[in-house]
């Protein structure tokens, strides 16, 4: 499964696509193969965008053929699209790429290094716990947009938190002091054995949700809890 998220690094914002279900191939693929293509893979208005996406998928299909390598993700930064694979060995990788990219006239370079522990994947591609929260938020926002929602309209938003023990949960609730948040109720299920729902009225634009989630995430981690996501209702349904 491929997930997409943004991450701030020293040189600015990096957009990352990552295959989060690929670690079962770790033991058999110790070589990190990187391909850097001079093309902004985020700019849908750029000439040749559809052709670029087709080229990307052609690279993945060719390198994954006969389990030679496994596509683990990509990064777009400073006008370059970076593709990453972990391979069974380092042979023939460059020649496969050359057959696809040379006729296309892309400026590109490639590199292969041994990375038996998949350190690059884990540190540069795999989402952090907070990244996963933002990925989930983006999916909810997309569904709201599909319903033609005005994301700038403030509405009640429920945020869910879980704890490993009831003592941790009770301490958090009894000392709750986060601006705008109020306790709604407890959640008890197989997934959230010691969970709670908080409620706050706010807009659900990408920037506002990110700000609210990150503020709450910090407080939750300080109290040894886990932020489990949020939900809301359509404005017209809420007002009806």
Which of 41-45, 67-71, 153-157, 163-167 shows the lowest per-residue confidence on average (mean pLDDT)?
A: 41-45
Which of 30-34, 143-147, 189-193, 212-216 shows the lowest per-residue confidence on average (mean pLDDT)?
A: 189-193
Q: For residue 240, name the pLDDT band (cuts at 50, 70, 90).
A: very low
Distance, CA of 141 to CA of 207 (rounded, Å): 11
**pLDDT average, residue stretch 47-72:** 94
User: What is the extent of the structural domain holding 150?
Assistant: 129-239
pLDDT tens figures, 67-80: 899 999 999 998 89
First vs last C-alpha separation in the chain: 38
- Residue 108 sits in a domain of what CATH number? 3.30.70.260
Indicate if 133 and 213 belong to the same structural domain.
yes
Single out the residue in 109, 125, 141 at which a domain terminates.
125
Structure tokens belonging to residue 5:
């998220």
- Residue 216 sits in a domain of what CATH number? 3.30.70.970
Indicate if 137 and 213 belong to the same structural domain.
yes
Place of tokens 């809301």: 232
Structure tokens belonging to residue 66:
């006969």
Place of tokens 């914002």: 13
Q: For residue 111, name the pLDDT band (cuts at 50, 70, 90).
A: very high
Mean pLDDT, the chain, rounded, equals 93
Q: Provide the edge-to-edge strand list for the sheet that holds 12-19.
A: 2-9, 12-19, 69-77, 80-87, 31-37, 108-114
Name the 3-class secondary structure at 203.
Answer: coil
76 C-beta neighbours (distance < 10 Å), count: 21
Q: What is the pTM of this model?
A: 0.87
Q: For residue 174, name the pLDDT band (cuts at 50, 70, 90).
A: very high
Rounded (10°) angle between helices 206-222 and 129-146: 150
């Amino acid at each position: 499964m491929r997930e997409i998220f943004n991450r701030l690094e020293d040189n600015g914002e990096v957009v990352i696509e990552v295959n989060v279900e690929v670690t079962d191939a770790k033991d058999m693929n110790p070589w990190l193969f990187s391909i850097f293509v001079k093309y902004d893979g985020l700019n849908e208005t750029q000439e040749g965008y559809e052709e670029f996406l087709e080229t990307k998928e052609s690279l993945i299909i060719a390198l994954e053929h006969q389990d030679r390598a496994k596509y683990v993700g990509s990064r777009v930064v400073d006008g370059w699209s970076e593709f990453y694979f972990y391979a069974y060995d380092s042979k023939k990788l460059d020649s496969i790429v050359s057959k696809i990219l040379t006729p296309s006239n892309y400026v590109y370079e490639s590199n292969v290094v041994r990375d038996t522990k998949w350190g690059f994947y884990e540190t540069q591609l795999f989402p952090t716990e907070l990244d996963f929260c933002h990925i989930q938020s983006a999916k909810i926002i997309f569904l709201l947009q599909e319903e033609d929602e005005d994301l700038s309209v403030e509405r009640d938003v429920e945020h869910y938190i879980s704890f490993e023990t009831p003592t941790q949960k009770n301490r958090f609730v009894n000392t709750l002091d986060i601006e705008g948040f109020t306790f709604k109720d407890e959640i008890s299920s197989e997934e959230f054995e010691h969970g709670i729902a908080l409620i706050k009225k706010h807009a659900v634009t990408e920037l506002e949700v990110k700000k609210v989630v990150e503020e709450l995430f910090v407080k939750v981690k300080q109290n040894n809890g886990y932020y489990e996501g949020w939900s809301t209702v359509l404005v017209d349904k809420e007002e009806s």
